Amino acid sequence: MAASSLHELSIEQASAQIAERRLSPAEYLQAFRARAARLEPKLHAFTRPLWDEAEQSARRAEAEIVRSGPRSVLHGIPIGLKDIFDLANHPTTCHSKILLENVAKDDAASTAKLRAAGAVFPGKLATHEFAFGGPAFDLPFPPARNPWDLTRHPGGSSSGSGAAVAANMLPAALGSDTGGSVRHPAFACGGIVGMKPTYGLVSRRGVFPLAFSLDHVGSLTRTVTDNALLLNVLAGHDPLDPASADRPAEDFTRDLEGGLKGLRIGFVRHFHEVDMVASPDVAASLNAAAEVFAREGAIVRDVKLPSAIELAAANRIVLLSEAASVHEHWLRDRPGDYSHMTRQRMIPGLLLSATDYIQAQRRRKQLVDEISAVLREVDVLLVASSLDQPCRIDDEPELTRTHGRQMRAPFNLSGHPALGIMCGLSSDKMPLGLQLVGAPFSESLLYRAARAYERATHWHTLRPPLDELAPA
């Protein structure tokens, strides 16, 4: 393959070539570096590029592979980190003025696992401030742009991770997901896969918290297989994370080619048809996806979950209460150092009472039990993600209107694994996506269903028309 096309290789493909010594990690990294040099001035996906440091790591990886073979499928593979993940000796800024000088002493647990597997780190990636307020224009770094249309919202808060992977500036990136922040960029940026694993499957240690009982670590990749390969490395018990699940290791790629025949899929149609009405383009893409699953052998039927409105309300109270506990001292002492949007979204958490929080947690348990009961009757849920195509990034009223028009937050509340994948294009040629949700620790099954959908459709092959984009 020509050097100019190496950035198109998936992790699976590049890893095989690296192991066979037909591709060097340094060459693979350079392909992304060259692409980023051309596109990053438009996309603003990076808060801190680390290409020189990554190149040194890639050359060390190459020497080690020549000497003793690869440590893992990620040896020499470049992976970006949302700028709330600690990377030793580099700032973790959370895209905020408040933490510009916050230099990490150690790697986050997930960073350390990737490093041990041989991955290299080309940079820290843009986020909404503290993974919550954005996109905002009154911060030390500009907001990341959507590679499909520079004027559109790329999804948040893992916006830089989604933009970098969708634009082929990186083959994979880590993100966090508290109300849908890995799955949202997978919807808005198109052609990529975003996985929020079961709560506790991946350690959150060293990741700046937003809401302790809702935070998940996830990943964005260009293919389902690559996402499963990444989770193979990231998953595992961490005794220093109090919410970490003590689970035996497993291979999340084991059922990838198992297909859909006989799989029971519950279509949560009422979320986007009754509880909150989706745009016609979103609704049509979901109906078409359900037809694909049925055509490929799945048994698709409608199911009913608790009201999306009630699920969102409980999630919001928990999120705001827990976020306020993290930010109370800065909100009182340094409110002007937050962006306008972060401050506007965060301050209501200070007004909630302990009673509000406890009542929301009590109702949370009942809502989770209701979702779990449905998942005993079906294997996978097919659910809407966002209900509208991405809006303009500078249209604050529209950003505010569409902020809560999404169906991702219910599964942060419940902790169930949820995977986002592209399922269509809107009438104005913007990406659309769906979610697949499973019972706790059913990630392998979700990957199997998503891989079957990937094989049966062409959406994952689409790339944003970057050469047609005008400079920002």
CA-to-CA distance for 139 and 150, rounded, in angstroms? 19
CA-to-CA distance for 436 and 52, rounded, in angstroms? 38
Question: Residues 102, 85: contact at Cβ < 8 Å?
Answer: no
Sheet arrangement for strand 80-82: 46-49, 123-125, 80-82, 172-177, 216-221, 193-196, 418-425, 431-438, 380-384, 264-267, 299-302
CA dihedral (238, 243, 246, 248) positive or negative: negative
Question: Residues 410, 314: contact at Cβ < 8 Å?
Answer: no
Closest CA to 45 of 113, 92, 3, 95: 95
CA-to-CA distance for 332 and 336, rounded, in angstroms? 10
Clarify whether 82 is annotated catalytic. Answer: yes
CA-to-CA distance for 454 and 217, rounded, in angstroms? 23
Question: Residues 467, 446: contact at Cβ < 8 Å?
Answer: no
222: helix, strand or coil: coil
Other beta carbons less than 10 A from residue 140's beta carbon: 14
Question: Which of these is catalytic: 15, 24, 57, 82?
Answer: 82
Question: Which of these is catalytic: 24, 57, 181, 321?
Answer: 181
Clarify whether 124 is annotated catalytic. Answer: no
Structure tokens at 100: 């510009």
Helix axes 51-68, 25-43, angle to 10 degrees: 160
DSSP letter at 150?
A: T
Question: Residues 150, 42: contact at Cβ < 8 Å?
Answer: yes
216: helix, strand or coil: strand
**At 436, phi and psi to the nearest 5?**
-115, 130
Q: Which amino acid, one-letter code, is at 249?
A: A
CA distances (Å), origin 73, targets 69, 111, 181, 210, 230: 11, 16, 26, 31, 9
Question: Which of these is catalytic: 57, 157, 244, 321?
Answer: 157
Closest CA to 83 of 73, 96, 71, 72: 96
49: helix, strand or coil: strand
Clarify whether 42 is annotated catalytic. Answer: no
| Conformation bin of residue 25: beta by default, left when phi > 0, alpha when psi is -120 to 50 | alpha
Q: Which residues are catalytic?
A: 82, 157, 181
